[in-house]
Structure formats: structure tokens, C-alpha cells
Structure 1
Amino acid sequence: MRDPQSLTHRQKTLALVTLIIALVLEIVDMTIVNTALPAIKASLGADAQASQWIVAGYSLAFAVLLMAGGRLGDTFGYRRMFLLGVTGFTLASAACGLAHTGTALVAARLLQGATGAVMAPQAMAMVQVMFAPLERVSRMALFGVIGGLAAIAGPVLGGILIEANLFELGWRVVFLINLPVGIGAVIAGLLFLPEARSGRPAGYDIVGMVLFGLAMAALLHPLIGAAESGQVGGALWPLLAVAPLGALAWRHAGQRVRAGKPALFDPALFTIASFRQGLALSIVFGAVGSGFLLVFAFAMQAERGQTPLFTGLLHMPYGLGAMFGIGVMSRNLLPRLGRWVLVMGAGVMLPATALVLWGITAVHLPWLVVGLALMLAGAGMGMTAGCLGPVVVSRVERDHAGAASALLKTSQQFGAALGVALVGSLYFAAGSRHFAPPALAALAVIATLQVLCMGVAWRLPHKLFD
């Protein structure tokens, strides 16, 4: 296989398209399931706990294994691990589409998240090795735009596919559609991607990964399990293990760094206020977004009686608002207003999401009003989300930029899983207790998280950039 630097412009373009296909595959599968979840729950007879794990399991597995996935590419080659990740993701998608129980689907979604964590880091690494520094700017921007469009397309595509009911497959087609796309990505990867790996692979910290993974699972599992019986304050004893496991993992990482051994991350990064608080904000904000979208999709279909197609299409104003918030508001306002852009973003999102959930369940507002509120909520989301990356790495030295970016992505994925656990548990518990409408009970958690977002954003350093 050719060296990355010897590729022609055409060959680099074909390689880039291959990587974009995989990016779309990974991002769409994070969001497509929201629209399909009510149909999945009804078809498989899945309980509340399984329904939440179908969404949260993907994000949790992705978060736990993301940094390890990047290290695998450094050691064994980006092309090889990309092909392995895409192949595994495609097979996991097939397992999702063929699942006949909620437990089987949860297991397949965990495998999807794990293989996605192997696949995703290789795309960014390949861009680094194929393109010169100035060329990377436009390619990375393209990844951002297409990633945003893919996130919007997921719920819409899910609604269209379920409505079409191709080959009488119902919700299964939202997973099985990945098969031809994944096979195409594997073939394109074999044909167009060059061989490359790091000259100084960082190695692995398996123990650290296991400890942090157990801490995350100890936090999420009892919260999700609380919805099973409709008791939010149910068997929460595993939460007692979170702090000891987290402390052990932190101490382990510090010892590895001091000994000059590979570590999951360098604890010294957390002495940087903007990095530490930015990661905290990304977790809370990820919880807001995932929790709101889960409840919105369920409330539209279960409480308002709308079709998956209409529910998917109604995600579009939210996505358009998010693109405006990211592409226009955050980019232009962050250099001038700093942390206040993030405070304003969460502040705009709070009344807008409340209006949406109140409007579709309690008072049945006209769809035009709901759409405008969704657009405003999306704009607020975009204002905050578009600023998080630059804020988190603003004071991080270049030598730690890769690790900092990986930690940001990990915190966002963990936040998404946490949002499903917290908000979803209250939503399903309220439904089982015949609280009407349950979406308004979930709104209490969403609003609390948004206020917390504003508080954390306000605590960011006044001067973020030199």
C-alpha cells in the first residue's frame, strides 16, 4: 500500500470520502434509534430498563473504549484498525437488526459502541497523516459540517425507514441499512486508504480503562435500573462504588504517568481550570441533549400519537437551529464574549425545551409554534456545543492536544449515556405511576441540568484565550 505522502489529489479525495462514510455511519447510529425506540419497545416487549440501555449502552461502550481505540491505531496501523472497526460495526448492526429480545438488542448495541470506538479515532488520525497542516483545516471543518448533518439526518432517516416498512422489516431496517453502507466502506478502505501508524505508539493502560469503565457502569446501571419498577429511588447501592473506583482509577493514572508508563490520561491536565470545567460542562450538557431528545421522541409518539415519520421530520428545526448556533453564533461571539456565550446558550435552551415538551403534551400547541421553539432550542444547543471544543483545549499544550480531545469526546459520550439514565428513568417511572404527562416530570430533571450548565459555564475563567 502506498505511503500517505505519495498519494495524488484524487487518491486523497477518495480516501477522505471513505472516512466520511464511516463518520456518517457512526453518528447516524447514535441518533437514529431515538425515533425507532417506541416501535422497538412495542415489538420486543422491552421493559424500561432495556429501552434505556438500547440508547445508553452505545454511548457508554463508545466512551469507555474511545481512547483505547486511538492507541490501537497508533500501534497496529490506522488502516488496519479502521477496517476492523467498520467490519465489527457492520456485523454488530446486523445483530441489532436480527435481535428478537431486548437483552439481545442491548448486547448488540454495546458491541456497536465498542466497534465504533475502534473505527472513529482512525478517521481523524488518517486526516492527520494524509494532509499538510493547512489542508487539515478545511478537511476538519468538512468533518464538522457533515457530522452535524448526520446527527440531524439520523432521526429523520429513522422515521422515513420505519414509515416505508421496507420488506416488512419495520424498525429492524434502521440497523440493517448499515450493512450495504458498511460493506461499501470496507471495500473503499481496502482500495483507497494508505498504510500509516504512529512512529511512537503510546501503549496501553488496560487496568485504567477497566477501572474507569467500572466507575461509569456503577453510576449508570442503578440509575437506569430505577425505571424498571417505577421507583426512581430503587436499588441504588452500586452508586457507593463510584467514588472508590474513580479514586482508584485516578491514583492509578497518576502512578503510571510518574513512572513514565502509558496512562489513560495525565491527571496534570485537570489542573487547568478551563479544561477541568469544560469537561464538566460537556458531561452535563451531553446529558441535557440526550435526555431531551429521548423524551421528545417518546412523547411525540406515545403521548401525542404522532407517527415515527412526523417525529423524525420535526427534528429538522432543532437541527437547523443547532447548525446556526454552531456555525454562526458560537464562532462569531466566542472570541468577543467568552464564557457568556455558553451561559447564554444554556439560558436560551432552557425555556425553549420547556415550551416544546409542555406544548406537545399538556396544551397541544400548533406545530408551527413547536417547530419555532425547537429551532430556538437547537440554536441554544449549538451556541454551547460549538464553543466546548475550543474552550476545553484553549489552555492545553499542543503535546497534550490529542489526549485532551479524546477526553472531551469521552466526556460527551458519557454525558449522553448519563442523560438517558437520569431523564429516561424519571420519564418511565412517571409513566408507570400514571403521572400525566410523564414528559413534564422528565422536564424537571432537564431544567435542573440546564441550570447546572449555566452555573458551570459561569464558573469558567473570564479570559479563555490569549
Structure 2
Amino acid sequence: MTTIVSSALPTELSERQKSLAYLTLMIALVLEIVDVTIVNTALPVIERDFGAAAAQAQWVAAGYSLAFALLLMLGGRLGDAFGYSRLFIGGVAGFTLASLLCGLSASPGQLIAARVLQGSAGAMMAPQVMALIQVLYGPMERVAKLAWVGVIGGLSAISGPILGGILIHANLFDTGWRSVFLINVPVGLAATMLAVRLLPGARSPLPRGIDGRGTALLGMAMAALLYPLVRGHDLGWKPWHFALLAASPIALALVWRRTVRREGKGEAPVFPTALARQRQFVMGLSIALVFGIATGGFLFVFAFGAQTLRGYSPLETGLLHVPFSAGVMFGIAFLGRKLLASYGRWVIFGGISLMAIFAGMTLGWIEGSMPYIWALPCLGLAGVGMGMTSGPLTPVMLARVDPAHAGVASGIVKTVQELGMALGVAMVGTAFFAGSGRTMLPAIAVIEVLLVMALGLAIRLPSALFPEQER
């Protein structure tokens, strides 16, 4: 995604200045990650306020993730070419403006457009965080700083629904659901001003160029897949919906053909084709995509169903995420990290199994009439399963990748994860709304099928996940 920078700082910074610059990067990271999940708690309120259709509510969530995923690698390459700080500042400023537009939206269409703009700005901002950490710190210092990036990122993702519920309940200045977007404005302005003052100017010494047409073709392929999945049921599944679905793999094949051709000519491809020949990387991406669709869909329909079927308020729905969040952190920080070296693929297999069992039981609680006390352990154990899977999966995917491709491989991983979230909202959300939003059973069925597919892929991972284990 970004070229590793090993040159000295453009200007010497004191430890205090570097710490403040790092803090600025973390503020922006939290803004971007929280906005992926914070909207789930607000969607039922937005739908009631606007009288929006179910598909429009899905696009409020999916539009952000889709725009972010499709432009992420482009954002990394623009940073290489034009400077990391410049792209970071522009991305934060654009994200802040888009957040303001979200909060001021007067119709579902305006809100969806603002969310797409928000995701696009986030894609310009996010890749520069990792690059600037490499500029600010030496190799040994980066280890601790990057570890904190993982911890802060994980906490941000699972705190989004909780924060959304608290903000809507507080109803600051009578803003209701709009507060989940407007809260970004003062934070984003502060981050922009700090970035202008504190971040060093740096860019890649070997910028790789950009395949604009290839990136656009990839975007069209994903849009052709996602749009029918979100709007097909709502519009009655017209023939052209099926034509778009059929066109998506054709467009992906054209992206691959173009990538091979450009790489053969020595021109910048969308991604290095060598990565597609690395079996463990491809297997890991497949698991990440399927698991991401399942978990993204689960989080979407859980927040929606808790409010529309069980009658919980946004605050109560947000607080219901606490045991899930605690489980995710326990799964990442303790179980996944400690067990991976000893048990390898069985850690990922076990995590997916926990998610399959207890995510289904959680949604079954919404469907049934059991008391809320039933949901708490189910949510906690589903969270453990998610943490045991998502935590180890990234290092497993990158374990055998050539270091020369580490940056772009990381970008592909992040892109696939975001696409999984967008597709999860589309596929599982469509299954939920196909039942008129009154039953969880279609959504549960889709989630369980996806997780069984992920289990089938996980069992095919090699027994030795890391080269060191073969010695």
C-alpha cells in the first residue's frame, strides 16, 4: 500500500514533537475506524426520521465501506507520489467536511452521497498513517508504535456502536442521530491543524505510479456486484440486475488481464501478480472475505434487529455490544496471540466455529422471546470467536509474502476486509429485509452458510503457517 521509507527525517524533530505527531495520526485513525461501525446503531433512527427504504439504510452503511475499499490502494500510491503528509491532511480535511455534510443531510440520497465522500476521504487518509509512522520512527521504535496501532484500531472498531448509542441518547443540542457524524467535525479540525504544524514532509523515493483505468475497472466490478445485492429485492429483481451480477466477474477478469499485461511491460499494475500465486496469501484472503461478509452482516442486522424487533433504544443497543467488544479484545490479545504458534490453523478454525455457534444464538435471541441475560454470554463468546479469527488472520496472510510486496499486500488485505463489510451489509441485510424486517431466520441462514464456507477454507490452510515452523 505504501513504500517503506528508511531515510532520515526531513527535519529533526524532538521526542515531544514526534509524540504529538503520532497522537495526531492516532486521532485520525480512530475517526476513520469508528465511522465504519458507529452508524449501525443510528440506522433504525435514520430510517424512521427520513422514512427511508430498507435499501437506502443499507447504502448508508455499505457506501462508506465500498468507497473506502475501492480507493484504499489508490490512496497509498498517491501518498507515494505526492507526499504522505499532504495526502493525510487532505484526507482528514475531506473527511471532516464529509462528516459535516452527513450531519446536515436533508434526505437519504444526500446522506448516502456524503457517506461515499466520507469513505473516499478516509481512503486517502488511512494509508498515510502507516507510512508516516515509518518516517517518524526508526525500525526498533516502530514495533511498539505499530502494536499500539493494532490495539487502538481494534478498540475503535468495537467501540463504534457503543459510542453511537450514547450520542443518540444524549441528543446533544437536539441533533439526534446527526451527532454521530457532527462529533467528527471539531475532532477533525483539530487533527487537521495539528497535522499541518507537526507532520514532516516526506514521499517515497521510488513512487510506483498509478493504474487509474485498472482501479476504475475494479471499482465498476465491485459496484456491479454490490448494487443488485442491495437494491434487487427492493426494486423487484429486474433482468438488468442479473446482467450486472454476471458482468462483475467479467470485469474482474479484465482487471487481471490488464494487470498481467502492464506488469509485463514494466508499468504500474493495480497489484503485483506474484501475490496471486502465493497460496497461503490467497487462502487467507478468501477466509477474510467470507468471514468479513458474515461478521459485517451480523453486526448490521444485530443492531437493526435489537431496535426494530426487540424494541431496544439506541443506547441499550450500544451497551449490548459491550460483552461482544470485551470478547473481541480477549480473543485478539490473549487467545489468538498466545495459541497461534502452538495450534496454528486450529486457532482460526476454532474462532470461526465459536462465531458460527454464538452469532447464530445471539440472533436467535432477537428472534425468540428469551430474556436479555441469554444474549450476554452469547455475545461475549461470539466476540471471542471474532477476535480469535481476525487477530491471527492478518499475520497468517502476510507470513510468506515477499517483503518487497509487503506494503501493497497489506493494502489488499485491508481492501478485502472492507469489501467484506460492505458485502455483508448488502447480502445479509438483503436477507433480513426480504422477510420484511420481521424475522431473523433468513439472515441467520446466510450467516451460517458463510461461516461454514470459512471453516472449509480454514481447514485447508497449511499446518505450518510460518516459515520458522518448518525448520
- The two structures have a TM-score, normalised by structure 1, of 0.96
The answer to whether the 8 A contact 1:226-1:234 is kept is: no
The answer to whether the 8 A contact 1:272-1:396 is kept is: yes
Structure 1 position 231, deviation (Å): 6.3
- What is the CA–CA distance in structure 1 between the aligned matches of 2:226 and 2:354, rounded to whole Å? 28
The answer to whether the 8 A contact 1:352-1:373 is kept is: yes
The answer to whether the 8 A contact 1:28-1:153 is kept is: yes
Evaluate the alpha carbon distance shift between residue 232 and residue 273 of structure 1 in structure 2; reply closer, same or farther with a 3 A threshold. farther
Q: Which runs of 4+ in 1 moved over 4 A?
A: 229-234
CA deviations 1:55-99 (Å, max 9, x no partner) are 111111011100010111111111111100000000111111111
1:391 to 390, 396, 400: 396
* Aligned: 1:420 with 2:425: yes
Unaligned runs of 5+ in 2: 1-7
3-state DSSP of counterpart to 1:431:
coil
Corresponding residue number in structure 2 for 1:81: 87
Corresponding residue number in structure 1 for 2:443: 442
Corresponding residue number in structure 1 for 2:406: 401
2:21 is matched by which residue type in structure 1? A
2:262 to 256, 266, 269: 256
The answer to whether the 8 A contact 1:52-1:420 is kept is: yes
Corresponding residue number in structure 2 for 1:139: 145
CA deviations 1:231-271 (Å, max 9, x no partner) are 69993321010121000000111111111111110122111
CA deviations 1:22-48 (Å, max 9, x no partner) are 000001100100000000011111111
The answer to whether the 8 A contact 2:9-2:135 is kept is: no
Evaluate the alpha carbon distance shift between residue 306 and residue 134 of structure 1 in structure 2; reply closer, same or farther with a 3 A threshold. same
Structure 1 position 165, deviation (Å): 1.0
- The two structures have a TM-score, normalised by structure 2, of 0.95
Paired residues for 1:292-441 under 5 Å: 292-363=298-369, 365-431=370-436, 437-441=438-442
How many residues were matched structurally? 460
CA deviations 1:102-134 (Å, max 9, x no partner) are 111111111000000000001110001111111
* Aligned: 1:111 with 2:117: yes
2:301 is matched by which residue type in structure 1? V
* Aligned: 1:24 with 2:30: yes
- What is the CA–CA distance in structure 1 between the aligned matches of 2:244 and 2:327, rounded to whole Å? 39
Paired residues for 1:272-311 under 5 Å: 272-311=278-317
Paired residues for 1:87-102 under 5 Å: 87-102=93-108
* Aligned: 1:236 with 2:237: no
The answer to whether the 8 A contact 1:230-1:430 is kept is: no
Corresponding residue number in structure 1 for 2:3: none
Corresponding residue number in structure 1 for 2:5: none
Give the percent of matched residue pairs that are identical in Structure 1 and Structure 2: 52
The answer to whether the 8 A contact 1:275-1:396 is kept is: yes
1:179 is matched by which residue type in structure 2? V
- What is the CA–CA distance in structure 1 between the aligned matches of 2:33 and 2:125, rounded to whole Å? 12
3-state DSSP of counterpart to 1:6:
coil
Corresponding residue number in structure 2 for 1:457: 458
Evaluate the alpha carbon distance shift between residue 62 and residue 168 of structure 1 in structure 2; reply closer, same or farther with a 3 A threshold. same
2:170 is matched by which residue type in structure 1? A
Unaligned runs of 5+ in 1: none
Paired residues for 1:118-197 under 5 Å: 118-197=124-203
- What is the CA–CA distance in structure 2 between the aligned matches of 1:110 and 1:190, rounded to whole Å? 25
RMSD, aligned CA = 1.5
1:408 is matched by which residue type in structure 2? V
Structure 1 position 230, deviation (Å): 6.8
2:164 is matched by which residue type in structure 1? G
- What is the CA–CA distance in structure 1 between the aligned matches of 2:210 and 2:240, rounded to whole Å? 37
1:267 is matched by which residue type in structure 2? T
Structure 1 position 386, deviation (Å): 0.6
1:9 to 5, 15, 37: 15
Structure 1 position 366, deviation (Å): 2.7
The answer to whether the 8 A contact 1:230-1:428 is kept is: no
- What is the CA–CA distance in structure 1 between the aligned matches of 2:242 and 2:46, rounded to whole Å? 27
CA deviations 1:249-296 (Å, max 9, x no partner) are 001111111111111101221111100111111111111111001110
2:343 is matched by which residue type in structure 1? L
2:213 to 202, 207, 216: 207
CA deviations 1:367-409 (Å, max 9, x no partner) are 2321111010000000110111111111101000001100000
3-state DSSP of counterpart to 1:70:
helix
3-state DSSP of counterpart to 2:141:
helix
The answer to whether the 8 A contact 1:69-1:118 is kept is: yes
